[in-house]
Every structure is written in C-alpha cells, then in structure tokens.
Amino acid sequence: MGASLAWTKTNKNAVGRRVDVSPKMDLSLFSDDSFDALKWINTHSHIEGDIATKKATVSAQVSKLQVYVEQINFALEKSSIQGTNTMLVALNDMNSIQREINSLMGTIKQVQHEIGHVHRDSGTYLSNLERLESVFQKLQAAKHGMQESDGWRKLTGELDELLEQNEIHQLSGKFGTLKTSMLAQTGLPGQADREVQLEYFTNRIEAAVSPLIIQFIQQADAENYSKHVYIFESIGRLAQLAQYYRKVHRNILVDKWVKNVESDSICEILSNFYDCLLNFVHQQLKWCSQVGMDSSQPIEVVIETLIYLQSSRETIVEKGVRKFTEKFELLSDISNINKKFETAVEKIIKDQRINSLKQEELSGAIYGYFATSVVQYLPIESDDSKKLLKELQVSNAEIAETVRSLANGNVKLAKWAEKALSRCAHVSQNYSLPQLVKVFQDMIVSWVENFVLAQKKLITCRTEQLDWNLIQLNINLLQHLGDFMGNIQLLSENIAKSAKDCDPTKSVYCSQLSSKQDKRSKFLISSEEDIFNELFSEENKIVAMRPTHDSIMKFILYAIEKHFNGMRFSANKEGEGFNLPDYSYAPQEYITQIGQYLLTLPQHLEPLLLSPSPSLKFALQSCDDAYSKDKFCADVLLALIVEETTAFYQESIDNIQSLTAAGSKQLAVDIEYFGNVLEEMSLPFNATLQQTVVLLRTPLEQYNTVGTGYNARLVAKIRQKRNIVSS
C-alpha cells in the first residue's frame, strides 16, 4: 500500500513538471490490430532476481506508462482548445463573406437593369442608322449609274472609232472600260441593250484581230503572236486562239497529204505522212512553250487531221488491197506502220506529261480508217483456208496414201491456224477473232470430211481373210484423227487466251463498227470456255472418231461372226434314247475356231497398241471410257472384242428354236469351252452364259427347282428350247 502511494506521488510530480521519461518507448506497437498486451508485458518484463526486484521493476514500468498517458491526455486537450478557437474565427469570416456576396448581387442586378435600358435604346438608334445608310447607298448608286449611263454612249462611240481606224492595241483598254461601265449599270433600265452592244463589239474586235493571229500562226511568229494574245484575253475569247491554231495547221497538214498521196506505194504514203506529223509535233511543242499555249494542242491538231483524212486513207488502202497480190503482207505492213506511229505519239504524250487527251480518241484517229480493211481481211483468210484445203485434197489417193496425207495435212493445217491467229492479233488486234473462229470451224468441218471418206475407203477394202495391214491403217487413221482433235483443243485454248487478253471496250475499231460491237464483245467476254463446244463437244468428238474404232472392231469380229453363222443344232430326236456321258461330247468346230482365233489376237494386237502415242490414247479414250483406266490399250481392245463375241454368242443361242437333250449337252460343252478360252485369256466369263450352261445341263424333272433365282427371261427361253413343260 505504501509503495502504491509512493508511485502516485511520483507520478503527479512528473506530470506537474512535464518530465520527459527516458529512454523513449516505441508506442506504435499499441495501435497494431494484432497487439497482445499480455504477450507484450511478458516479453518486456523478463526480469531476473527475487520477488522484490521484480515488483520494483514492474512499479517503475507502470509509472512510465502513467506518465505517457498523462502526456497523451495533455496533447489531446491542447489540440481540442486550438481547434475550437479556429472554428470560431472561421465562422466569423464566413459571415463577413456572406454579407459581401449579398451586397455584390444587388449591385449586379442594378447593372443588368441599366444595360437592358441601353440595349433597347441602342437598337432603335442602330435601325435608324441602317435605314439612313441604305438610302444613302441607293442615292450613291443612282448617281454613279447616271454618270455611267452618260459615259456609255461616249465609250461606244470611242470604241467604234478605234475599230474604224484599226487601232488594235488600244481596243483592249477601251473594251475593258466598257465592261466596267456595264457592270456599274447593273439593274438600271436598258441592261439587255447594253449586253447586246457588248457582244457586238466583242465580235468586231475578234474579227479585226483574228487575221493577224492566223498570219502569225502560219508564219510561226511567236513574238507578234504573244503581243496580241492579251486582246483575246480581254474580250474573253482566249479559247478561240486554240481553235484558230488547230484549224490553220490542220489545213497545212491536209495540203501535205494531198501532195504525198500521189505516190504509188501505200506503205510509203502512210509512213512519210506519219513522219511529217511527228516532225510537226516536235516543232510545235517548242512554239507552244514560247507563246504559253497548252502542249496538248499539237497532238489535237494531229487527231483532227487524221479524222479529217479518214475516208481518204481508207480509199487508198482499199485500192492497194485490191491491186496487191500479197494481201496479208500488205495489211501486216500497214498495221506495223500504224502501231509504230501510235507508239511514237504515246511517247511524246508521256514525255510532255499531257493528261488531257483520251487514249481512245488517239487510237480511233490512227486506226479508224483501217477498220474497213479489217472487215475485208476475214474473207481473205477464208479464201486462203479454202485454197489450202484444196491443195490437201486426198479423195483420189490410195488408202495408205490417204492416211499418210491426212497426217501431213494435220501438220499444215495446225501451222496455218497458228499463223492466222497471229495475223488476227497483229492486223485487227483480235477484233476479228469471232469471224476468224467461224473460218476455223468451216475448215474443221471440211477436213473432218476427209477422215470420213478415209473410213469409208477402209471399209470397202475389207476382205474375207483378216488383213492386219488394214487394221494397222485403221489404227493409224484413228491416231491421226486424235492428233487433229488435239490440235483443235490447243487452238481453242490459244483463241480463249487471245480473247481473254483482248479488252473489247478498248478496241480501236469499236467506234467505227459499233453495229457489230455487241456481238464481238459478247464473244470476247464469254470466250474462256472451249470455242468449239457447239461444233466439237465430247459427243461430236465421239461421233467423229468412233466410226474408225468401230471399223477396227468390225475387221477383227468379221471372222468371229462368220464362224457363228456356221453354228448348227438339229432338232431331230433320233438317238435320244442313249444318255451319253459328258466326256462323249467334244466342242464343235465353230467354237474351237473362234477360241483359237481369240487366243491368237493378243500376239497381233500388242505390237500395234503396246505403247500408243498420246494422240492415239486420246482418240481411244474419246471412243470408250474403258481406255481411261490403268490398263494396256491392247488388253482393253481385246476385252471389248470378247464382250462383242459374247454378245454374238448370246444372240446365236437366242436364235436356236429347239434343242434335244443331246443338243443341250452339246451346247453346254461348247459354252464351257468358250469359258475355258476366256479363262486362259484372263478375261471374265459372262454370268448369263454361266447360267445358260447350268440350265442346259439340269435334268428335266429338276429344272423348275434349279431355275429359281436365275434370270426369269433366260429360264423361260431355255425351257422353251428344251421343250420342258412348265409346272
């Protein structure tokens, strides 16, 4: 108890003196959310010694805590007093500010009221001023108009006098004054009359100055020309100078053409005149740069001159084509001259950076006259193709020579078509491509007729004995036909490419032959498909090539068909009482001959079709899809022959009216032999024939049972032939 009182006294004295306790302690730990008082005390109160020492230490620590608490309380009290005093001062200041604000608002309202009064008064004053200003302006305009009206007659009189005296250089200034005077009188009475007078003097001034301008242009006098340009500029007729320039030089160039056209050589006439035009352009570009004229004007002169001379150029070309023997060469040379000139002009346009000219205008002027010749070019091609076909005529030759001639003709026709396509691109820029295709189509039809004639010749050459030389000729003919069809396909692709590369909207002949343009455009746009689809579709190719393939089959099958014609089965039932065993029957002669014939075919066909050329392969595939499979062509042909042989056999069996029991067994043995031959050849045996053998060997009493599941028509036929009564 005494210790406690002592601590209290010490604590009070410490507070009164504001004693600072040392060492200072870190009080931030007490504000930590995870602060544990008991843990903290145990940690900081780990004191060694007896009980008395520990109590004294604890008392000292508690005293220190009391001092810290007192210090905190004192600081909080002091801060509260200071905050209260500050709030009172702030409230007094706010009241003073509020009073000042109220006073200021009253002053603002008073000022606004006064401003409103000023606005109302000033609006009235301003409207009055504007009205007075308008009246003043009208009076001034009327006064000025009266003055100008008085001066108009004087100006027109002076201008008329200058025109009479031919005072050219004074006209510009006086005319400018006249225009200013007319503008000043806008809205005054008599405006229409003044405009008529102004146009009258404009025309008179142009008529007075234009002879000089024409003279300066003809003489290439750039200095004097430049001195008179301002007159046209003052009267607003500057554009007329370009018209005078083009007209003067066009007439000069036309005169040069008339003198040049007397030459006999068409190419020389065109070439010399085009050179003259190019020289003119180069000279005039320098002159135009001196006088400040647009650099496109010399090119415009050339275009107008060429358009003006269209009919004349067209006439001399037509005469030349009629007289010249080598028409293709002439047209090609003219086309080269046109193209060379166009290239030279385009280079000038590019170098001078002239953008005001349209390409189609230049092309139309250069090539327009040639359009009629382009149209006439197609009949020349047609006549040339007919001439070539006549030279290749093979109808009177021997069959072997005919086949060789067809091969040679294929090569010549392909070369001719290639050259014709090249000529079309060169001469007509592919504009005549649709008509040229028609020429090609007529040529193809005529040439295919030669193949048809050759096929007919081969058929007439067939003999009783199989002639493998004729079969070789048939195969050669089919190969040549395939080669021809391949050439057609290649030509179609080249035509489609030419049509695709040709833009019909940019054809230089479209504007000259517009009535035919739609048809050509439609053709050129749709030419990505096979050009000859209508004439030589897949079906038509088969129609052209299949007869030759069928002819090969007929040659080979002729002997087989002949053997089947020797097939005989008697309906006589004599000897039917003997039921002979199967080994008593041997294949008849007709089927053994057919079998032996079939077995010898591979050794003949393989040399002919062992490694067929691409043309022959193409022709065979066009005739039958079986050739498209991964098999040797000889094997495919042999399979087709066996297939036809099987069909012949079935047809021959169908033609038998009645069979005896012995006849049924004999026919079954024959069919089985045929099946063995096919097995030897590694070819399939027809299922119908297999069923026929079973039905022929079936005992009468079991026939209806065995026939279940077989072809009903076949069962009925064999029943009828064997005279079996249906149950």
Residue-wise pLDDT for 262-282, tens only, equals 766 888 888 888 999 999 999
| pLDDT score at 188 | 66
Beta-carbon contacts of 534 under 8 Å, excluding residues fewer than 6 positions away, are none
Instruction: Write the pLDDT tens digit of every residue in 467-494.
Output: 788 888 888 888 888 888 888 888 888 8
Average pLDDT over residues 185-199: 69
- In the predicted model, is pLDDT for residue 333 greater than 70? yes
Q: Say if residue 38's pLDDT is above 50.
A: yes
Question: Average pLDDT of 178-188?
Answer: 67
Question: Does 514 score more than 70 pLDDT?
Answer: no
The residue-averaged pLDDT of 241-248 equals 87
Question: What's the average model confidence in pLDDT over 605-619?
Answer: 81
| Residues 533, 541: Cα–Cα separation, whole Å | 10
CB 492 within 8 A of CB 530: yes
Average of per-residue pLDDT across 599-618: 83
**Segment 527-566, tens digit of pLDDT:** 444 455 554 555 555 566 778 888 888 888 888 888 888 8
Nearest residue to 151 (alpha-carbon basis) of 208, 201, 192, 194: 194
The pLDDT of residue 518: 41
Q: How high does pLDDT run on average in the chain?
A: 77
pLDDT at 378: 76
Task: Answer whether residue 197 shows pLDDT above 60.
Answer: yes
Question: What confidence category does residue 395 fall into, taking pLDDT thresholds of 50, 70 and 90?
Answer: low
List CB contacts of 108: < 8 A, sequence separation 6 or more: none
- The pLDDT assigned to 172 comes to 61
Choose the most confident range, by mean pLDDT, from 181-195, 402-416, 431-445: 402-416
The pLDDT value given to residue 203:
78
Contacts of 682-685 with CB under 8 Å at 24 or more apart are 683/638, 683/639, 683/642
Task: Give the model's confidence band at 644: pLDDT under 50 very low, under 70 low, under 90 confident, else very high.
Answer: very high
- Whole-angstrom Cα distance, residue 243 to residue 479? 69
pLDDT (tens digit per residue) in 48-107? 667 787 778 778 878 887 888 888 888 888 888 888 888 888 888 888 888 888 888 888
**Helices marked H in 28-50:** 37-44
Number of helices and strands (H, E) in the chain?
A: 25, 0
> Do 193 and 237 form a contact (C-beta atoms < 8 A)?
no
Residue with tokens 């032996």, as numbered in its chain: 596
- 195 vs 507, more confident: 195
CB contact set of 161 (below 8 Å; sequence gap of 6+): none
Model pTM above 0.75 = no
Q: Is 17's pLDDT higher than 60?
A: no
Domain residue ranges in the chain: 51-140, 236-368, 380-544, 578-722
The pLDDT, as a whole number, for residue 44 is: 67
* Per-residue pLDDT, 211: 82
The arithmetic mean of pLDDT across residues 659-666, rounded, is: 87
Distance CA 498, CA 428 (A): 12
Can you give the pLDDT at residue 510? 42
Q: In the chain, pLDDT over 90 holds for what percent of residues?
A: 8
DSSP state of 263: S
Give the mean pLDDT of 657-665.
86
Q: Please say if the pLDDT value at position 18 is more than 90.
A: no
Contact between 621 and 672 under an 8 Å Cβ cutoff? The reply is no
- What distance lies between CA 521 and its chain's CA centroid? 15
- Average confidence (pLDDT) over 169-189: 66
Tens digit of each residue's pLDDT (9 = 90 or more) over 683-712 = 999 899 998 988 888 888 888 788 777 888
- pLDDT mean over 179-183: 69
* pLDDT above 60 for 504: no
Contact, 58 vs 2, CB < 8 A? no
Contact (Cβ atoms closer than 8 angstroms) between residue 165 and residue 181: no
Query: Residue 418: CB partners within 8 Å, gap ≥ 6?
Result: 491, 494
Residue 669 has pLDDT above 50, yes or no: yes
Q: What gap in Å lies between CA 722 and CA 659, rounded to an integer? A: 5
* Whole-number pLDDT of residue 523: 42
User: In this model, does residue 509 exceed pLDDT 70?
Assistant: no
Of 223, 225, 271, 282, nearest in space to 248 by CA = 225
Express each pLDDT in 400-431 by its tens digit. 888 898 899 999 999 999 998 888 887 877 77
Q: What is the pLDDT of residues 320-330, one digit of tens each?
A: 777 777 777 88
Pairwise pLDDT comparison (86 vs 520), residue with the higher score: 86
Quote the pLDDT of residue 593.
92
CB 282 within 8 A of CB 335: no
Query: Which residues, 6 or more positions from 370, have their beta carbon under 8 angstroms from its beta carbon?
Result: 313, 314, 317, 334, 335, 338, 509
CB 657 within 8 A of CB 634: no
CA atoms of 586 and 596, how far apart (whole Å): 15
Question: Which DSSP string do the residues of 476-532 spell out, in sequence order?
Answer: HHHHHHHHHHHHHHHHHHHHHHHHHH--GGG-TTTTTTGGGHHHHHHHHHTTTS-TT
Band the pLDDT of 13: cuts 50, 70, 90: very low
pLDDT value at residue 93: 82
- Residue from 654, 613, 618, 626 nearest 553 by CA: 626
User: How many angstroms separate the CA atoms of 253 and 607, rounded?
Assistant: 75
